[in-house]
Amino acid sequence: MIRESRYRKNSPFRIFLLTVTPSRADTPFLSECEAWMKERTALWIPVLTQEGLPPAGSRQERIEEGLSRILDMAGVESLLYLSGPPAMVDAFHQILLGQFLVEEPRIKSEMFYGYLAH
């Protein structure tokens, strides 16, 4: 989806990307995420659970802060697309419904079980 949007410069859609990894080096498709930010194709919000963070704040709090930033910028009409391992997708889904009171029809999801080597 993000790759395709690079070629649709007049698209009315804004894309916000949240990744959750232990460190920047562990981020899948890191060079693409960086390029998307540089090109303004997507706003990338990396949540690093083990690197470069102050000791205050749990992993959960960091994730919630990232989601909060996206929801504040995206607005109440936006669709939210979750993609990742089933446990992560389910957890984010519950956070969006329970803590952020996002309505179910706004949440779309796709589960996958790993990354292809590239």
The pLDDT tens digits of the residues spanning 9-36 come to 665 567 888 888 888 899 888 998 898 8
Residue pair 26/57 in contact (Cβ under 8 Å)? The answer is no
Cα–Cα distance measured from residue 13 to residue 113, given in angstroms and rounded to the nearest whole number: 28
**Residue 40 confidence class, pLDDT cut points 50, 70, 90:** confident
pLDDT, the chain, mean: 81
Say what the pLDDT of residue 73 is.
87
Say what the pLDDT of residue 12 is.
57
- Residue whose tokens read 């995206």: 74
For the residues 100-118, what does the mean pLDDT come to? 81
For the residues 86-111, what does the mean pLDDT come to? 91
- Residue whose tokens read 């590239």: 118
pTM listed for this prediction: 0.73
